[in-house]
Amino acid sequence: MRRVAVLSVHTSPLAQPGTGDAGGMNVYVLQSALHLARRGVDVEVFTRATSSADPPVAHVAPGVLVRNVVAGPFEGLDKNDLPTQLCAFAAGVLRAEAAHEPGYYDVVHSHYWLSGQVGWLAADRWAVPLVHTAHTLAGVKNAALAAGDSPEPPMRSVGEQQVVDEADRLIVNTEDEADQLVALHGADPAGIDVAHPGVDLEVFRPGDKRQARAALGLSPDEPIVAFVGRIQPLKAPDILLRAAAELPGVRVVVAGGPSGSSGLAAPGGLVRLAADLGISDRVTFLPPQSRGNLAALFRAADLVAVPSYSESFGLVALEAQACGTPVVAAAVGGLPVAVRDGVTGTLVAGHGIEAWSSAIGGLLRLGSGPRGWAMRRAAVAHAATFSWERTVDAQLASYTNAIEDFAAARGERMRVVGAARRPRRWPARKGARA
pLDDT (tens digit per residue) in 379-423: 999 999 999 999 999 999 999 999 999 998 877 665 655 554 555
Within this chain, do residues 128 and 249 fall inside the same structural domain, yes or no?
A: no
Residue 51 lies in a domain: yes
Mean pLDDT of 272-290: 94
Within this chain, do residues 152 and 287 fall inside the same structural domain, yes or no?
A: no
Residue 432 lies in a domain: no
Within this chain, do residues 395 and 342 fall inside the same structural domain, yes or no?
A: no
431 is in an annotated binding site: no
Using one digit for the tens of pLDDT, what is the confidence trace for 90-137?
A: 999 999 999 888 899 999 999 999 999 999 999 999 999 999 999 999
Using one digit for the tens of pLDDT, what is the confidence trace for 356-377?
A: 999 999 999 998 789 999 999 9
Listed residues 365, 382, 399: the one ending a domain: 382
Residue 430 lies in a domain: no
Indicate the pLDDT class of residue 261, thresholds 50, 70 and 90.
very low
When mean pLDDT is compared across 10-14, 18-22, 397-401, the lowest value belongs to 18-22
Within this chain, do residues 185 and 211 fall inside the same structural domain, yes or no?
A: no
17 is in an annotated binding site: yes
23 is in an annotated binding site: yes
Mean pLDDT of 153-157: 94
155 is in an annotated binding site: no
Please report the pLDDT score of residue 150 as a whole number: 87
Listed residues 337, 364, 382: the one ending a domain: 382
Residue 420 lies in a domain: no
95 is in an annotated binding site: no
394 is in an annotated binding site: no
Mean pLDDT of 239-267: 80
Question: What DSSP state is assigned to residue 17?
Answer: T
232 is in an annotated binding site: no
When mean pLDDT is compared across 7-11, 291-295, 417-421, the lowest value belongs to 417-421
Question: What DSSP state is assigned to residue 283?
Answer: E
CATH of the domain at 250: 3.40.50.2000
All residues at 6 or more sequence positions from 256 whose CB lies less than 8 Å from its CB, including other chains: 18, 19, 227, 228, 229, 230, 231, 235, 237, 267, 287, 288
Q: Does the pLDDT at position 171 exceed 70? A: yes
Residue 425 lies in a domain: no
Q: How many residues does the chain have?
A: 434
- pLDDT above 70 covers a percentage of the chain that reads 91
160 is in an annotated binding site: no
Within this chain, do residues 249 and 222 fall inside the same structural domain, yes or no?
A: yes
The Cα 348–Cα 332 span in angstroms is: 9
Within this chain, do residues 171 and 251 fall inside the same structural domain, yes or no?
A: no
Within this chain, do residues 19 and 168 fall inside the same structural domain, yes or no?
A: yes
Residue 429 lies in a domain: no
Count of structural domains within the chain? 2
298 is in an annotated binding site: yes
Residue 249 lies in a domain: yes
Q: Please provide the average confidence, as pLDDT, over all residues in the chain.
A: 90
Domain span holding position 41: 1-197+388-414
The Cα 59–Cα 10 span in angstroms is: 20
Within this chain, do residues 21 and 167 fall inside the same structural domain, yes or no?
A: yes
Mean pLDDT of 178-198: 97
DSSP 295-318: HHHHHH-SEEEE--S--SS-HHHH
Residue 302 lies in a domain: yes
